[in-house]
Amino acid sequence: MLKQRLNHSLIDEKLKSSGLNQAEIAKKLDVTRESVSQWFSGDNFPRPRHLLALSNLLDLDYSELVIEEPDEYEPVIAYRKVHDKNYSKEDKEKVTDIGYSLERLLPFINNNRISITLPNPKNNSDYIKDIVKYIKNKYGVNSNLVSVEEIQRIFKDCDAFLIPVLWGESDNKTNGVHIRLPESRTDWIYINLDSFIYDIKFWMLHELCHLISSDIKEKYSEEFADYFAAEFLFSLDEAEILYESFQSTRNEDILAQLFKKALELFISPYTIYKQINRYLKSANLEEINIPKVSDTFKEFLRPDQNITLTELFLKKKTPEPEEYINLIENNFSKEFISALISYSDNERFSVGFVQNIFHISLQDARIIYLVIKARGLKNIGCTN
């Protein structure tokens, strides 16, 4: 894929000769001044219609205005939406831009090589059972009740950066994004704080599996990651025991036991349901068929149980910017926030950069920009 960037030196010459400035360009193109600033700083690339308008305004051909270069180090994206919905070309381009922005933080990151890589990953249940047991033993995960903190500990040992974001609760929401920067061999995992709390451990483990199993064939990668996450949270051995405890084959009775186990382990009953059917398939037994397990579970829960990850941590749906930054720093990735604060002294640190890094609205980005900038200034004051 070609990497596109504006020809800044030629644009600067045109601006000087024409007497134009960014504010006038924004007015003539009917865009915000922030948008123009982001184009010229490299934080964003103009949409085709804006590129054409800019070309006409500056009297530059496309080949003069845009520099295209082969990019052997283009960020590699793994995008996960709910209900396995496909992501669009625009989605991929936007997340790829985030990857390029993350590269600017690398000088402020203590980067080490990944310490876990699955040897010859195979998409079969025996291999997955063995590798899950190995990782659990390595990290001292002894209980069937796997905690978020234990999963985070494994991520940290892999030198992967967990970045929680607020991406909404709609039916088309994104559960997670994995960005790998090939040149630095760094991995950045975005998880949606607006996700249902009983789903979060599964998605974290799903992304962890992508991180440590890059050698598996792409056509098997999603299925492999699903199996890995499910086995980590509720093993096939546990599925066999639970199935044999069923006193009835009525869906209502089975659901009741699925829900009880889900509440006990703090995971989705759908994960348990899928594991039971995997066990039944492996034992050549008839699989059970219960539609809409997840939807029924949400209807079953009390309002104080049917909450997002944000509500679990902060007891509120919408955190203040300072609370949000503190949440990332204290519970997920202190090094990521430290890198942002260090970078805030750079002249290219902008509202547009913050908007791109967090994939949020311009309004929210302005406030978070001020929070990060204030912390950077405070740190400078402390060192003087």
114 and 57 within one domain: no
Q: Is residue 302 part of a domain?
A: yes
170 and 241 within one domain: no
From 169, 197, 225, the end of a domain falls on 197
Average pLDDT over every residue of 258-275: 96
What is the tens place of the pLDDT at every residue in 294-311? 999 999 999 999 999 899
Cα distance between residue 225 and residue 356, in whole Å: 28
C-alpha pair distances (Å), 10 with each of 7, 63, 338: 6, 11, 35
Whether the per-residue pLDDT at 374 is higher than 90: the answer is yes
Q: Is residue 99 part of a domain?
A: yes
What is the tens place of the pLDDT at every residue in 234-253? 999 999 999 999 988 899 99
108 and 21 within one domain: no
Q: Is residue 156 part of a domain?
A: yes
Residues with Cβ < 8 Å from 160, sequence gap 6 or more?
Answer: 114, 186, 187, 188, 189, 208, 211
Q: Count structural domains, the chain.
A: 4
47 and 25 within one domain: yes
- Written as six digits, the tokens of 95 are 């997340």
Q: Which domain does 351 fall in, by range?
A: 326-383
The average confidence (pLDDT) of the chain is: 86
- Written as six digits, the tokens of 223 are 């299925």
Look-up: residue for tokens 């604060």?
A: 341
What is the tens place of the pLDDT at every residue in 215-226? 666 667 888 989
91 and 179 within one domain: yes
Task: Give me the pLDDT at residue 216, please.
Answer: 67
Average pLDDT over every residue of 91-100: 83
Q: Helix crossing, 362-383 with 321-331: angle to 10°?
A: 60
Whether the per-residue pLDDT at 86 is higher than 70: the answer is no
Q: In which band, very low, low, confident or very high, does the pLDDT at 346 lie, cut at 50, 70 and 90? A: confident
Choose among 104, 91, 24, 8: nearest CA to 57.
24
253 and 176 within one domain: no
Cα distance between residue 309 and residue 367, in whole Å: 22
What is the tens place of the pLDDT at every residue in 19-36? 889 899 999 999 888 888
What end-to-end distance do the CA atoms of the chain give, in Å? Answer: 46
129 and 31 within one domain: no
Lowest mean pLDDT segment, chosen from 105-119, 130-144, 324-338: 105-119
CATH number at residue 15: 1.10.260.40
Q: In which band, very low, low, confident or very high, does the pLDDT at 67 lie, cut at 50, 70 and 90? A: confident
Q: Is residue 96 part of a domain?
A: yes
56 and 81 within one domain: no
Whether the per-residue pLDDT at 370 is higher than 90: the answer is yes
89 and 56 within one domain: no
From 36, 70, 104, the end of a domain falls on 70
Question: Is residue 98 within 8 Å of residue 184, measured between CB atoms?
Answer: no
193 and 126 within one domain: yes
From 15, 48, 70, the end of a domain falls on 70
Task: Give me the pLDDT at residue 172, please.
Answer: 42
86 and 60 within one domain: no
What is the tens place of the pLDDT at every residue in 141-192? 988 899 988 998 888 777 788 888 887 764 445 567 888 888 888 888 888 8
Q: Is residue 211 part of a domain?
A: no
